Structure 1
C-alpha cells in the first residue's frame, strides 16, 4: 500500500528556503520571525487487508500578520475512493472564546487535474473567520484510505524539513494488528518509542522546534526522517504486484504493437531497442489517466494502452517491455525514485518508487530504458534515474533489489574557441562545442520544448554573455534518436572580451568561474546550511586559441585533485599566439553540506580559486 500519511493542508507560507544570490546574508532565521506556532497530533490505525485510518488534530496560533494570511484558508486534497471527514473546525480567540466555522465557510469540490493527465481527487477547503494575531485555528480531520490489494503491506514516511512554522508540539502514533518496524535518521530532538509487542510506534518532539532558513543557495536533500513499515523484506511488499505484472506482460501484443515488433526482429539488438523507443515516443504521449480508478502501480492492459494512445510511466514501460520480450530481448519492470536525488530507503515498500522504467539486457549489457524521456541516447542511463535503489520484478517471478549505475566519467562537453582580440578589447570568436551524454539529453529536451530557433538564440546569448548582436550559430536538427556527439558551431563578436589598459589587454578566460569560487567561499562565511546540486557537466573541457596574442610571462600550470573535483589550467605558446586549456572533472552531482563545511573541502575551494585567479593574463597583440 502506498501511503503518504503526512496530511497537512496547502498553506501559502512565505518560503522557508529561499534561493537568493550567494553573496546575501544567509543564516538560520530567528524564532521571532515565525508567523505561526503549530501543535500536531496524528493517530493512525493499520489493519491487515483493510485501509489505514488516520486522525489529524492540528492547531495553528497566529504570531504575526503573515501567519493570519497563511491560515485564513486551508485546503486538503484526498482520493475520491477514500473517506475524508472534517470532524472539527474552529477559531479560538486570545480570550478563550471558541467560534465554530459555519458550513457556509466550508467548500468541497473536485481537485484540479495534474498538468499531464486526469485525476479523481477531491479538495476540501475551509475559510476561518475573524482571525487576528493571537487567534488559534484548530481543526480535526479523519481519513480512511483505500486498500490496494496489489500492495497489501504498508510503509509510511515522515520527513521534517526546514519550515517557517514554529513546531511547539508533535506526536505521531501508529497502532497495528501486527508488528511494526521503524528506522530513522537525523532524529536529534525527537523521541521514538515502540511498545513491547511491537504493534505501536510513537514519535514525539522533545521541545519546541524552529528551523527555518533564509537566502540559501541550495536545498536540503536529507532531512530528519522516520520510516515505518509492516515488513522489513522486499517480497511481502511486491509479490502481489509481481504476479499482476507477470499476467499482464504475458498478454498478446495489440495489433499495431505486434506489427511493429514483428518487423524489427531481424535488426541487431541495439538498433531494435532504439526503434522501439522511437515507436513509443511517436505513437504515444505521456498522460496519467486516473478517472476510471486509482490504479496505484498497476498499468492498463496492453490493448487499452494502444487504444488510448497515451499512458503514464508504468503504461508506456509495460508496453515497451512486452514488445522487447516479443523481439527476443530480456526485459523486466523496474521501480525507482525519479529526481535529482534519491537516498536509499531505510525500509522497503512500494512507496519507495515514483517511477517505472524497463531494465533490458542489450547485447550482454544492462540498459535502463525510460520511454517517457523526450530523446534517447543508446546505452546511456538518464541522470534522473541514475545511482539509486531500484526494485526489479524478475523474469523468474521473484522481486529483487538492484541499483542503477553511478554517473560515468567520460567527457560530456568539449569547447574549442579561436579568439582574435582587438585593441579596443573586443574579439571575434569562432569555435565548436561538442555535447554528449547528459548535456546532450538536456539540450534535446530544451530543443523539443522551446523549438530549434529559440534554443539557438538562447545558446548564442549564453556563449556571448549577452554582449554580441551578430551571433551566428549552426547546429544539426535534434531527433529523438541522439548521436554519440552533437557539435555546435558558433561565430560572434564579443564586445567585452578583454579590458584595455595602457596599451595592453587584460584577458580573463575564466571570469565566470571566478564568481563560482567566490560564492563557494561565502558559503562558509555566511554559514549556509544546504546541499548544492552541481549545475554543470561531469567533465567540461575548454581550449582557447588566442590568435596573434602574446604575454611576457605565462601563468603557471595549476592542478587540483580532490574526492569531489579535479581541475586543471595551463597556458602554452603556439606559432599563432597563446593556447589556454581548462579541464573541470566533477566526481559528484551533489555537494552535501557536511562535506562542504569540512576542512578538506575548504582546501579544495582555496586551491581551485587560486587556479582560476592565476589564469588572468596581461597580453599584447603582435603587430
Structure 2
C-alpha cells in the first residue's frame, strides 16, 4: 500500500473536503496537477495531425480484464486489513495491518521505501514496522530510518503530514510488514465520517483486502463492482460493515503511458450521511453567509467599472480583475478553509487565495453587476464519473456557474483565460454541485464541449525557394478551447515563444523544421467568445525528402497516431481512448513542384469520426483538402478492440496515405 505510486487509495476523509484528488487511508499519493497533465497533452494534440495524441488517456475497464497482465507478473503483492471504530463525537480510531511481499526486483525498488501521508490533525502510531525475510528473520525499521514532516498540497485544498520508512535488507522474497493505529478527529462544521476506497491500476497484486467499520449510528455505503469482486456484509441495523475482496485482484495494465487510469474502477464508499448533497450542505451554508458580506473596496471599484456594459464584457473584465488581483496559491492551513473560502475582505487584503477564494470573489462580483452566479464544486480529472456517495476526496476544484437567459456558463477564475460555451477538457462532461442560497446544493451536469470548441479552418501554401528552403504562408481560424490554450501559452510565457509554438503545432507537418517566422494575430483576451484568426509567414525546411529518382512530400495528418494505436494493439491494451469532439478543415498547397500523379480522393465514415481527402487544383503544383470530424470524446477499450474500429483504422491508414505525394526532382 505505502509506496511511491498510486496504490489502494485508502481514502479516509472525514468531516470536510479533506482531499484534492485522492487521500489514502494513511497516505496521499502525489499526482500531476490537472494543469500539468492538460498542458503536456495539448501541446502534442493541438493540431489534428496529432489526432491520436500521445496515447490513450483512459484506462482499463474491468470488462476488458482478459487483456490485463497475468497476476504471476506482478512485482509485489499486498495483504491489507483495516478495522475502524467511528464516533461522531470523538472521530475515528483505525487499526491497519499490512504486508507487501516482494516478488520481483521492480517491486523491491518501488516498495522498499514507503511514504505514509496523513491529515494534519491525525495522530499516526507505528506499532510495528519490519522486514520479514524468507528464512524467518525479522529486521525492524530503525528509528533513524523513520522521518516525519509536513508537505503542502499544490491545488489549494489541503496539506499533509508524512512519515517515510526505509525498510532494511529488502530483497526478492522479503515481506514488508506494517502495523499502524490512526486517530482522526471529526472536523467541524461538517460532522460526518466517510471513506472512499478505489482500487487503482498499479503494480500491486491484491492478495487480500478487508475493511471493517463499526459506528454508533447507521452507516451508508455504495459500490462500483460490475464483476462482483467484493463481498459486503452488514448487520441488521447497518452499524457494522465488512467489505473484502472475494479473490486476489491484479490490475496490471499491459500498455505504457502517463495517461492510463481506470475510468470505471472497482470502488466502494462508506459514510455516515446517506446523500452526497446533504454532506455538502454545511459548505454551501458557509459560502452563502460569506457571499452576504459587502464587497471590499477594490472589488467594488472593478464592479463600478464593469457596470452598464454588455454582460460578456462584464464577465471578461471581472475575470481579468480577479485573476490579476488574486494570486493563485494553495491554502494549506489547518482550518475549515480546506473547503470553505476565507471572507472576501481577507482575500482582497492578502492578494492571494486558492480556487475556492477566487470562485467566491468572482461570484460576489458577478452578482454585484446583476448576473446570476454561484460557486460550484467539481472534480478536475480525466475520470468524469459522478461520485458514488462520498464527495470528500472526490471534488477537488471550485469554479463559477454563470446563468444567462437560461444557459449555464462555467468559469474557472484560476485559469488566466476562459472560453464562453466550453470548458477545459478536465472539466467538461461531468457533474458539478452548485451551491445556492441558504445552503441549497444542486447537482448540474457540465456538458461535453460542442464540436466548434475544438475546430480549425486552415489554408496554407508552401512555395519552393531553392529545393531545400520553402516559404510557408497560411491562415488559421481557431475556435473555443483552441484559442484559450493559445492565449494561456502567451500569458504563461511571452508572445514570441507562443508564436513559435503556434506555427510548429498548427502549420507544420511532421519532420518539417522552422527556420524563421512572422505571425500576425490579435491581442490575447481573457474571455474567448468568438473565432480567432492567425496568419503566418515562415521559412521552412525538410518539406520534401529524396526518394529514389523522385522527392516525397509527406503531408499525412494521422500517421504517428495510427502507429500509436497499432502499438496499443500489439500490447493487447485495455485502455479507453480520449478522442475529443472537434474537427479540422484545411487546404494545403505546394507550389513550384511537378507531381508524378495527382492525389486520389478518399473518405472514411464511422460512428467515431469522419475523415476525407480530396485533390485541389494548383496551376504550378499540387494541393489537398482535408476534412476531419471527431464525433465522440471517449472510445472505450472494448470499442477499440472491436472489428468495426479496427476496420476503420485500416481505412484511415489507406486514406491518409493519399497525402504522400511523389514529385519530380
Does the alignment reach a TM-score above 0.5?
yes
The alpha-carbon deviation at position 548 of structure 1 amounts to 5.0
For 2:340, the equivalent position in structure 1 comes to: 298
For residues 158 and 444 of structure 1, do their structure 2 counterparts lie closer, same or farther at Cα, with a shift above 3 Å needed? same
Q: Secondary structure at the match of 1:471?
A: strand
The alpha-carbon deviation at position 449 of structure 1 amounts to 2.5
Q: Structure 2 CA distance, aligned partners of 1:377 and 1:85?
A: 49
2:269 aligned with 1:219, yes or no? no
The alpha-carbon deviation at position 250 of structure 1 amounts to 0.5
2:103 aligned with 1:63, yes or no? yes
For residues 547 and 291 of structure 1, do their structure 2 counterparts lie closer, same or farther at Cα, with a shift above 3 Å needed? same
The alpha-carbon deviation at position 40 of structure 1 amounts to 0.6
For 1:498, the equivalent position in structure 2 comes to: 544
The alpha-carbon deviation at position 133 of structure 1 amounts to 3.3
Q: Structure 2 CA distance, aligned partners of 1:592 and 1:368?
A: 27
For residues 461 and 551 of structure 1, do their structure 2 counterparts lie closer, same or farther at Cα, with a shift above 3 Å needed? closer
Superposed counterparts of 1:86-165, under 5 Å: 86-109=126-149, 111-115=150-154, 121-165=160-204
For 1:172, the equivalent position in structure 2 comes to: 211
For residues 345 and 604 of structure 1, do their structure 2 counterparts lie closer, same or farther at Cα, with a shift above 3 Å needed? farther
Bigger drift between 544-553 and 436-445 goes to 544-553
User: Contact 1:184–1:226 at 8 Å: present in 2 too?
Assistant: yes
2:231 aligned with 1:191, yes or no? yes
Counterpart among 446, 454, 457 of residue 497 in structure 2: 454
Q: Structure 2 CA distance, aligned partners of 1:620 and 1:324?
A: 63
Counterpart among 582, 587, 592 of residue 631 in structure 2: 587
Q: Secondary structure at the match of 1:384?
A: coil
Counterpart among 106, 114, 117 of residue 77 in structure 1: 117
Counterpart among 461, 470, 474 of residue 519 in structure 2: 474
Bigger drift between 548-557 and 222-231 goes to 548-557
Superposed counterparts of 1:433-452, under 5 Å: 433-452=476-495
The alpha-carbon deviation at position 586 of structure 1 amounts to 1.4
For residues 40 and 30 of structure 1, do their structure 2 counterparts lie closer, same or farther at Cα, with a shift above 3 Å needed? same
For residues 162 and 117 of structure 1, do their structure 2 counterparts lie closer, same or farther at Cα, with a shift above 3 Å needed? closer
For residues 72 and 616 of structure 1, do their structure 2 counterparts lie closer, same or farther at Cα, with a shift above 3 Å needed? closer
Q: Structure 2 CA distance, aligned partners of 1:11 and 1:360?
A: 34
Q: Structure 1 CA distance, aligned partners of 2:404 and 2:620?
A: 48
Between 1 and 2, higher relative CO (CA 8 Å, sep ≥ 6) is seen in 2
| CA deviation string 1:289-313 (max 9, x = no partner) | 2335252321101111111101111
User: Contact 1:269–1:363 at 8 Å: present in 2 too?
Assistant: no
User: Contact 1:377–1:437 at 8 Å: present in 2 too?
Assistant: yes
Superposed counterparts of 1:407-556, under 5 Å: 407-410=449-452, 412-421=455-464, 424=467, 427-462=470-505, 463-464=507-508, 465=510, 467-468=512-513, 470-476=515-521, 477-482=523-528, 484-500=530-546, 504-510=550-556, 512-534=557-579, 538-548=582-592, 551=595, 554-556=598-600
RMSD, aligned α-carbons? 3.1
Instruction: Give the gaps of 5 or more residues in structure 2.
Output: 1-14, 31-40, 42-52, 57-65
For 2:74, the equivalent position in structure 1 comes to: 34
For residues 409 and 118 of structure 1, do their structure 2 counterparts lie closer, same or farther at Cα, with a shift above 3 Å needed? closer
Q: Structure 2 CA distance, aligned partners of 1:133 and 1:518?
A: 37
Q: Structure 2 CA distance, aligned partners of 1:5 and 1:493?
A: 51
2:622 aligned with 1:604, yes or no? no
For 1:52, the equivalent position in structure 2 comes to: 92
Q: Structure 1 CA distance, aligned partners of 2:512 and 2:154?
A: 37
Superposed counterparts of 1:19-30, under 5 Å: 28-29=68-69
Q: Structure 2 CA distance, aligned partners of 1:120 and 1:326?
A: 33
Matched positions, count: 610
Q: Secondary structure at the match of 2:402?
A: strand
For 2:3, the equivalent position in structure 1 comes to: none
The alpha-carbon deviation at position 520 of structure 1 amounts to 2.1
The alpha-carbon deviation at position 479 of structure 1 amounts to 4.0
Q: Structure 1 CA distance, aligned partners of 2:408 and 2:171?
A: 61
Q: Structure 2 CA distance, aligned partners of 1:85 and 1:489?
A: 63
Return the TM-score normalized by structure 2. Answer: 0.83
Q: Structure 1 CA distance, aligned partners of 2:347 and 2:253?
A: 45
The alpha-carbon deviation at position 348 of structure 1 amounts to 5.4
For 1:353, the equivalent position in structure 2 comes to: 395
Q: Structure 1 CA distance, aligned partners of 2:227 and 2:96?
A: 21
For 2:418, the equivalent position in structure 1 comes to: 376
User: Contact 2:376–2:400 at 8 Å: present in 1 too?
Assistant: yes
